[in-house]
């Protein structure tokens, strides 16, 4: 004991220090809620939405890719490959280089990267357990507990990764409910960034979108809590002290998540481009688009949006990015923006998330969830368009 006393110290946290005050504020419900909203506003909306999906995407896509990379790749492919059909596989509207690679690098990479930086900062600072404790009471109404905050927040980064992380939940019932919520009402960071970019100049649409998505999320969770059988486990969580995030830790965690995401996602983008090329070449996509157009019309969206939603079957962020392209070309008015962001937020899980759901929960669960998601997204889109038109709100 005497040796220990000479070489070690055990400081008692003081409530008068900045760290002590911050600890107390993040544990008190009256101050913790405004802090959580501030974290979400500055971390998600400003950093991921405005900076990642706005500034970085504009630079990478418009200033770099469209100005220099796409013309160079197109000229290079057209010189090497004399056949227009094969040229279309690599460049032009739906080429592997000009669509798949552009979406993955110029659109998705900066959005996902900024999200994972934000998540790593929150994780390394010790704030996430406090957020879990804050949300525990709400999550209990949804058949979950505070521990589910980790896969739910991760779902805003990558739904595929988050579905795997539901393994940390104690019971099968919790894992089923969390997977349902991730499949239905949690847009991934690529979707979220594009959605925030679409509504960045329409604050009333952003507020309405937040309110409606929250209502849908809570309603779905409450229904699942009453219908999915099983027990609700007790919730115990160690609360570590708050600390200043270490740059090395943040960079290492961000790099490992980005590496996993990019290795998993880039091949899917390229594969989706090949499938789109085959579907376009055979006329299959045109036939499917003709079937989708009447439903799109009921939502009050232009016929061009049908291809964006069709591509969303392969990647949800493909659909979101396609809608952003329509907006950038002046083809969506405020009402159509509102309907679009609602529908794409509730859209089908991407291929990767679908197969992870199949692996974790089985074919029946994956197929039933996908069918229910499609029906919900379509119904919400039609109702949102009808309400916006009848009230003259937008």
- pLDDT tens, residue by residue, 214-258: 999 999 999 999 998 887 777 777 788 888 899 999 999 999 888
CA distances from 392 to 199, 329, 334, 355 (A): 19, 24, 11, 41
> 194 and 323 in contact (C-beta within 8 Å)?
yes
- pLDDT tens, residue by residue, 142-151: 988 888 888 8
Separation CA 62–CA 260 (nearest Å): 26
pLDDT of residue 382: 94
Residue 13: band (very low, low, confident or very high) from pLDDT cuts 50, 70, 90 = low
pLDDT of residue 175: 92
pLDDT of residue 218: 92
**Exposed/middle/buried for residue 319 (C-beta within 10 Å: 0-12, 13-18, 19+):** buried
- pLDDT tens, residue by residue, 251-305: 999 998 888 777 776 777 787 778 878 888 888 888 888 888 999 999 999 988 8
CA distances from 138 to 87, 141, 270, 346, 348 (A): 53, 5, 40, 21, 26
Count CA atoms within 13 Å of residue 271 on its CB side: 12
- Which residues contact residue 206 at a Cβ distance below 8 angstroms, ignoring those fewer than 6 apart? 196, 199, 200
> 359 and 389 in contact (C-beta within 8 Å)?
no
Task: Between 62 and 394, name the one with better pLDDT.
Answer: 62
Assessment of whether the complete model's pTM goes beyond 0.85: no
The residue whose two tokens read 């009471």 is: 137
Looking at the predicted structure, is the pLDDT value of residue 177 above 90? Answer: yes
Residues of the chain with pLDDT > 90: what percent?
Answer: 19
Backbone φ/ψ region at 330: left (φ over 0), alpha (ψ -120 to 50), beta? left
Looking at the predicted structure, is the pLDDT value of residue 45 above 80? Answer: no
pLDDT of residue 159: 80
Tokens of 283: 């006329």
């Amino acid at each position: 004991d005497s040796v220990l006393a000479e070489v070690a110290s055990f400081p008692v946290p003081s409530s008068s220090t900045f760290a002590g005050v911050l600890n107390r504020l993040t544990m008190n419900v009256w101050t913790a809620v405004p802090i959580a909203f501030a974290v979400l506003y500055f971390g998600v909306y400003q950093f991921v939405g405005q900076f990642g999906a706005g500034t970085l995407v504009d630079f990478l896509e418009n200033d770099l890719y469209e100005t220099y990379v796409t013309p160079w790749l197109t000229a290079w492919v057209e010189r090497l490959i004399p056949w227009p059909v094969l040229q279309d596989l690599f460049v032009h509207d739906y080429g592997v280089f000009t669509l798949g690679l552009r979406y993955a690098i110029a659109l998705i990479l900066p959005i996902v990267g900024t999200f994972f930086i934000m998540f790593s900062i929150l994780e390394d600072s010790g704030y996430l357990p406090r957020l879990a404790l804050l949300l525990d009471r709400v999550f209990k109404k949804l058949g979950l507990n505070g521990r589910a905050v980790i896969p739910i927040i991760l779902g805003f980064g990558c739904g595929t990764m988050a579905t795997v992380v539901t393994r940390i939940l104690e019971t099968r019932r919790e894992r089923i409910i969390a997977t349902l919520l991730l499949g239905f009402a949690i847009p991934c960071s690529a979707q979220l960034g594009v959605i925030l970019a679409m509504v960045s100049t329409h604050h009333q649409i952003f507020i309405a979108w937040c309110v409606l998505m929250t209502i849908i999320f809570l309603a779905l969770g409450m229904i699942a809590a009453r219908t999915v059988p099983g027990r609700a486990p007790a919730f115990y969580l160690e609360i570590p002290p708050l600390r200043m995030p270490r740059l090395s830790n943040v960079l290492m965690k961000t790099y490992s998540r980005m590496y996993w995401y990019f290795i998993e996602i880039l091949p899917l983008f390229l594969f989706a481009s090949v499938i789109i090329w085959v579907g376009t070449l055979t006329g299959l996509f045109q036939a499917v688009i003709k079937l989708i157009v009447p439903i799109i019309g009921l939502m009050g969206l232009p016929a061009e949006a049908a291809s964006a939603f069709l591509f969303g079957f392969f990647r949800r962020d493909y659909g979101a990015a396609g809608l952003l392209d329509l907006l950038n070309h002046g083809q969506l008015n405020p009402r159509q923006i509102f309907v679009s962001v609602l529908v794409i937020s509730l859209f089908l899980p991407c291929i990767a998330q679908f197969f992870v759901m199949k692996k974790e929960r089985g074919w029946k669960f994956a197929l039933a969830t996908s069918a229910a998601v499609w029906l919900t997204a379509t119904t919400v889109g039609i109702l949102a368009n009808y309400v916006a038109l009848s009230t003259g709100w937008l």
